[in-house]
């Protein structure tokens, strides 16, 4: 019962110590997470989040071409074919008449035509006679001279604005579909008018309030309004009704035909029938284009012959933007294609915080640099995968701050935890080394003095000499500890001022330890008559690390000191080192009589050292009587049985030497 209570008490103390340690290393990780959340809330991560958002949009799998939307792109060849620019109203009227003969559901003309006179009578007639024609204007600038009026023949319900909003990095990611002008008039975009007209023909009604920010519905489908802090945006102007553009993922998402093909009747009427036709400029000389990086390909990159994987030229024509915005609405209403949604701010920050805490946990439980980096890398890929799948499903999940919080908190916690544990380990190691130094030096000398005092009368001069020797040994310990810390624990204190380098070959240093120990003034060494010089070369094949070398030196020193202190009348001392087919063996054998009671008083620390060394080597330590008289102190450990075990030992040794 007492043992069980003691075990529980030790476990509880260990848990409390570990908890205290965690508290000290968790706080820096939490501080990093808080800093990243603060930085994100100020908008300093907007640009990075936009780039990640664009890249994930580009990486989405291809969707089917939307055949319901057709682009009529007037390019440089069309301008050369007509011979004039702007394209004369006559050719525009002819094109519209031909297109209407193919019975499209609605036509949007993304060309500015704000005048009407006798020269434009043919175009004006086409405007009036075809109720499925939607014109365009620029209407949202405060200064009226910057606005462009629509054709006067068109009623307001058949005019949509072409005003766009670009982000501070110059790229287009949002679509403005409803807004009030500076005079207070509510207007809708060209893309919304086209979608409204197309869906009305299928019996799906449009519903909107009197304010631009009111919800917009098509039947039971509701459009998602952009808010100031949507996704990676922070404090962005969200006036009017804006939507995040969910570009259709395909190298050529819409069928595109040219003006000259229409004028020459070189198109299939089925391409046009019951479709949305959007007419606009796709000529490089006309500056109706925007910078973008969220699509795989555009008409501009196709015209240049640039590979879709390249983002060197990321320009998209205005007519393509209208096509994507129109397609986004009708695909959502008719096909259930997701719009781009975002979480509320509280859930976004909880998401970032959660992954930051996961990073802290990994930094705590994985105390290996390789394991920590590997786990952080794999988990980061998983976070990217989650955000990627979320975007495919229509959810923009914060990626950049999440990765920063996760990796930064994980690495910060790991390094703080490692440094703190290293500090605690260094303190423990310093205490251990201090006790080793005291035990193997001054305590051994003190044991000799005490034994002399107990067994015989010692002359004052001799006692004085021994005490002075003890004093010198005690005074050298601080110097030894300082040197050991400076040498990164690559040295070992023996006695007095003797310090050996652990990088020296094992056989040479073992013999040095053997030789210098036998020179110590121990009574047990004075009667020995036979010394056979030991051969430690068999051990050179074994890859000892620094700690194992240290333990082996201390084991040899302790075993020899025990003979010198406790063996009485010994005449022979043998140190035998052998290597068999299965194991190594190191024996220290004497033939003297041992006073067991006195041996037990000074052998506790040495026995602990020997047993610790045996555990490191996966071997066995034992001390047993020697026949007919004496003691055998023996350490055995196995030979690595396969090449991979030898390699593992060598790798451990290399890693330890690098980390010391």
Q: Name the band, by pLDDT with cuts 50, 70 and 90, for residue 605.
A: low
For residue 198, the model assigns a pLDDT of 96
Q: Does the structure show a pLDDT above 80 at 521?
A: no
In the DSSP assignment, the letter for residue 144 is G
Q: What are phi and psi of 415, to 5 degrees?
A: -70, -40
Taking 3-state DSSP, the helix, strand and coil percentages for the chain, each rounded to the nearest 5, stand at: 50, 15, 30
Q: Does the structure show a pLDDT above 60 at 658?
A: no
Q: Name the band, by pLDDT with cuts 50, 70 and 90, for residue 286.
A: confident
Contacts of 221 (CB under 8 A, 6+ apart): 332, 333
Contacts of 501 (CB under 8 A, 6+ apart): 490, 491, 509
For residue 379, the model assigns a pLDDT of 94
Q: Which of 19-28, 96-105, 371-380, 609-618 shows the lowest per-residue confidence on average (mean pLDDT)? A: 19-28
Q: Does the structure show a pLDDT above 60 at 8?
A: no
71/79 Cα distance (integer angstroms): 17
Q: Give SS3 for 388.
A: helix
299/317 Cα distance (integer angstroms): 7
549/660 Cα distance (integer angstroms): 14
450/452 Cα distance (integer angstroms): 5
Token pair listed for 338: 């997701």
For residue 180, the model assigns a pLDDT of 93
Say which residue, 423 or 202, is predicted with more confidence. 202
Q: Does the structure show a pLDDT above 60 at 115?
A: no
For residue 531, the model assigns a pLDDT of 72
What is the DSSP secondary-structure string of 537-602? GGGGGS---HHHHHHHHHHHHHHHHHHHHHEES--EEEEEEEE-SSEEEEEEEE-SEE-HHHHHHH
Section 102-116 average pLDDT: 85
Q: Which of 111, 102, 60, 87 is nearest to 322 (CA)?
A: 111
Token pair listed for 157: 């319900």
Q: Is the dihedral of CA 609, 613, 615, 619 positive or negative?
A: negative
Q: What is the number of other CB atoms lying within 10 angstroms of the CB of residue 132?
A: 19
Token pair listed for 194: 């086209």
**Average pLDDT of the chain to the nearest whole number:** 83
The residue assigned the tokens 């459009």 is 223
Section 275-288 average pLDDT: 92
Q: Which of 521, 656, 511 is nearest to 575 (CA)?
A: 511
Domains located in the chain, CATH noted = 91-342 (no CATH), 502-660 (3.30.565.10)
Surface-to-core class of residue 334, CB atoms within 10 Å of its CB (0-12 exposed, 13-18 middle, 19+ buried) = middle
590-616 b/e with 16+ CB inside 10 Å = b? bbbebeeebeeebbebbeebbebbbee
For residue 311, the model assigns a pLDDT of 53
For residue 278, what are the β-bridge partners? 71, 108
For residue 369, the model assigns a pLDDT of 76
Q: Which of 200-209, 211-220, 431-440, 547-556 shows the lowest per-residue confidence on average (mean pLDDT)? A: 431-440
For residue 601, the model assigns a pLDDT of 44
Q: Does the structure show a pLDDT above 90 at 38?
A: yes
588/574 Cα distance (integer angstroms): 6
Token pair listed for 247: 């570009």
Q: Name the band, by pLDDT with cuts 50, 70 and 90, for residue 593.
A: confident
In the DSSP assignment, the letter for residue 519 is T
Please write the tens of the pLDDT for every residue from 164-184.
999 999 999 999 999 999 988
For residue 308, the model assigns a pLDDT of 54
Q: Note whether 236 and 229 are within 8 A (CB).
A: yes
For residue 119, the model assigns a pLDDT of 45
Please write the tens of the pLDDT for every residue from 133-167.
999 999 999 888 888 988 888 899 999 999 999 99
pTM above threshold 0.85: no
212/544 Cα distance (integer angstroms): 78
Section 571-591 average pLDDT: 91
Token pair listed for 303: 């015209």
Section 274-297 average pLDDT: 91
Token pair listed for 647: 């390699």
Q: What is the 3-class SS of 165-229, one letter each residue?
A: CCCCCCECCEEEEEEECCCCCEEEEHHHHHHHHHHHCCCCCEEECCCCCCCEEECCEECCCCCCC
Please state the length of the chain. 660
Q: Give SS3 for 479.
A: helix
């Amino acid at each position: 019962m007492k043992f069980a209570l003691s075990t529980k008490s030790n476990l509880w103390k260990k848990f409390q110590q570990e908890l205290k340690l965690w508290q000290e290393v968790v706080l820096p990780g939490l501080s990093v997470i808080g800093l990243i959340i603060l930085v994100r809330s100020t908008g300093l991560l907007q640009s990075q989040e936009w780039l990640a958002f664009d890249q994930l949009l580009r990486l989405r799998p291809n969707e089917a071409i939307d055949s319901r939307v057709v682009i009529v792109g007037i390019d440089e060849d069309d301008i050369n074919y007509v011979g004039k620019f702007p394209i004369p109203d006559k050719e525009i009227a002819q094109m519209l008449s031909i297109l209407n003969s193919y019975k499209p559901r609605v036509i949007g003309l993304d060309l500015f035509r704000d005048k009407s006179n006798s020269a434009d009578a043919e175009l004006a007639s086409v405007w009036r006679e075809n109720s499925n024609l939607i014109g365009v204007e620029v209407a949202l600038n405060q200064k009226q001279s910057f606005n462009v009026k629509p054709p006067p023949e068109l009623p307001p319900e058949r005019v949509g604005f072409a005003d766009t909003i670009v982000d501070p990095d110059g790229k287009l990611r949002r679509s403005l579909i409803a807004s009030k002008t500076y005079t207070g008039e509510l207007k809708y975009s060209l893309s919304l008018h086209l979608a409204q007209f197309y869906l009305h023909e299928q019996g799906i009604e449009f519903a909107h309030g009197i304010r631009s920010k009111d919800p917009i519905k098509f039947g039971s489908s509701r459009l998602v309004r952009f808010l100031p802090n949507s996704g990676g945006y922070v404090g962005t102007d969200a006036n009017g009704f804006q939507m995040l553009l969910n570009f259709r993922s395909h190298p050529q998402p819409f069928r595109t035909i040219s003006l000259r093909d229409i004028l020459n009747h070189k198109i299939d009427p089925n391409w046009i029938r019951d479709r949305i036709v959007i007419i606009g400029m796709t000529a490089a000389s006309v500056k109706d284009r925007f910078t973008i990086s969220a699509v795989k390909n555009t008409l501009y990159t196709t015209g240049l012959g640039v590979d879709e994987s390249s983002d060197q030229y990321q320009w998209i024509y205005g007519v393509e933007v209208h096509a994507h915005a129109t397609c986004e609405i009708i695909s959502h209403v008719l096909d259930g294609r997701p719009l781009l949604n975002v979480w509320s701010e509280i859930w976004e920050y909880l998401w970032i915080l959660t992954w930051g805490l996961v990073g802290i946990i990994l930094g705590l439980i994985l105390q290996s640099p390789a394991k920590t980096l590997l786990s952080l890398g794999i988990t980061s890929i998983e976070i990217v995968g989650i955000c990627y799948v979320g975007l495919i499903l229509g959810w923009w999940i914060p990626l950049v701050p999440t990765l920063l919080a996760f990796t930064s908190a994980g690495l910060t916690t790991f390094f703080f935890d490692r440094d703190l544990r290293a500090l605690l380990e260094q303190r423990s190691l310093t205490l251990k080394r201090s006790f080793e130094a005291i035990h193997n030096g001054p305590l051994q000398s003190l044991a000799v003095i005490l034994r002399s005092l107990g067994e015989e009368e010692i002359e004052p001069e001799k006692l004085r000499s021994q005490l002075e020797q003890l004093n010198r040994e005690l005074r050298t310990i601080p110097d030894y500890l300082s040197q050991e810390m400076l040498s990164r624990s690559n040295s070992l204190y023996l006695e007095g001022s003797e310090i050996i380098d652990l990088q020296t070959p094992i056989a040479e240093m073992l013999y040095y330890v053997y030789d210098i120990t036998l020179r110590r003034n121990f009574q047990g060494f004075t009667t020995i008559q036979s010394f056979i010089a030991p051969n430690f070369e068999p051990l050179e094949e074994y890859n000892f690390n620094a700690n194992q070398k240290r333990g082996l030196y201390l084991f040899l020193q302790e075993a020899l000191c025990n003979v010198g202190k406790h063996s009485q009348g010994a005449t022979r001392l043998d140190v035998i080192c052998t290597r068999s087919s299965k194991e190594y063996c190191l024996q220290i054998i004497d033939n003297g009589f041992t006073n067991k009671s006195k041996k037990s008083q000074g052998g506790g620390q040495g026995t602990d050292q020997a047993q610790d060394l045996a555990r490191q080597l996966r071997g066995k330590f034992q001390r047993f009587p020697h026949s007919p008289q004496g003691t055998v102190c023996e350490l055995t450990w196995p030979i690595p049985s396969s090449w991979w075990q030898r390699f593992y030992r060598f790798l451990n040794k290399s890693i330890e030497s690098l980390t010391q």
